[in-house]
Amino acid sequence: MVANWRRCQKCRKVLPVEDFEEDSDVCRMDAATAASPARVPVKARVTSTVPAHSTRSAPVPPRDIRGHGDPQVRARRARTRALERLSQLHADDFAELLGEERAAEGL
């Protein structure tokens, strides 16, 4: 059974003996690609460094993230913003509550 298989010396694949010429070490597929004309690499296209939207007079502002995404993520984001605003509006009460909670945690 081992005599029916051979390793190609170019692509390193183990192929049946039928895929090789009589005593060739290279399979027919690799021999055909070696005989075909070499491909010339395509040069990269040079692009302009000026962006296409540069004709506008004012830069485009970044998109606001509000109203986009999963509803649960949006709810957490709204809660975080509300807690920040609440802590700023009632800074004294927030500091007192935070101190109590930290003391309860042993911090």
Instruction: Convert the pLDDT of each residue in 37-90 to its tens digit.
Output: 766 666 666 666 666 655 556 666 666 666 667 888 888 888 888 888 888 888
Residue 74: both structure tokens together: 């949006």
Is residue 45 assigned to a domain?
no
Give pLDDT tens digits for 25-35. 899 988 888 87
Question: In a 10 Å sphere around its CB, with 0-12 CB exposed, 13-18 middle and 19+ buried, how is residue 28 labelled?
Answer: middle
Is residue 28 assigned to a domain?
yes
**Could you list the residue range(s) of the whole structural domain that residue 76 is in?**
67-107
Q: C-alpha angle 7/2/30, rounded to 5°?
A: 20
Is residue 99 assigned to a domain?
yes
- pLDDT reported for residue 40: 61
Give pLDDT tens digits for 89-102. 888 888 888 888 88
Is residue 51 assigned to a domain?
no
Predicted structure pTM score = 0.33
